[in-house]
Amino acid sequence: MGRKRFQNLGMGSFFGQFFYEQVVPRDHFLVQLNLLIDWEQFVDILLPAYRGLAETGRPPYSPVVILKMLVIAFLYNLSERQVEEAATYHLAIKEFVGLGVNELLPITVLSASSRAHAGNRWLAPDRGHL
């Protein structure tokens, strides 16, 4: 079994965490949610939905990024397109998702074609949709 590899996001860039700490209040709900939940625990649960289990092909976005974007959609009652726009322009959401300040999110991350690409692997046998 190969090594899992995901897209490197820009949180370590010059405009990374330092900028967010100056601009986004540390008591913001999304900042606190990020501190409260260990998001990495979900990687192994969600990884079977990836073709090649993130070991082959171009490095995909981490399942944590996708999960966080879905959480944003649920919390703020946003469509997929609105979530992608919010992750581009809203600094608290951008930090929550894990993007660097100067980093843009590809529009295809939550698109229907991305879900279709995953096929039936998003379906759990006894629980319906993930």
By CB neighbour count within 10 A (0-12 exposed, 13-18 middle, 19+ buried), where does 113 fall? exposed
Which pLDDT belongs to residue 111? 56
42 HSE (CA, 13 A, CB side):
14
- The CB density around residue 84, as the number of other CB atoms within 10 Å, is 21
* Per-residue pLDDT tens over the stretch 85-122: 998 899 999 999 988 888 877 655 555 444 544 444 44
Which pLDDT belongs to residue 18? 82
Name which residue leads in pLDDT, 58 or 69. 69
Q: How confident is the model at residue 30 (pLDDT cuts 50, 70, 90)?
A: very high
Name which residue leads in pLDDT, 63 or 76. 76
* pLDDT higher than 50, residue 124: no
* pLDDT higher than 50, residue 128: no
Which pLDDT belongs to residue 31? 96
**Rounded to whole angstroms, how far apart are CA atoms 130 and 122?**
6
* Per-residue pLDDT tens over the stretch 32-52: 999 999 999 998 898 888 777
Q: Which of 100, 97, 103 is nearest to 18 (CA)?
A: 100
Whole-prediction pTM: 0.75
Q: How confident is the model at residue 13 (pLDDT cuts 50, 70, 90)?
A: low
Which pLDDT belongs to residue 6? 73
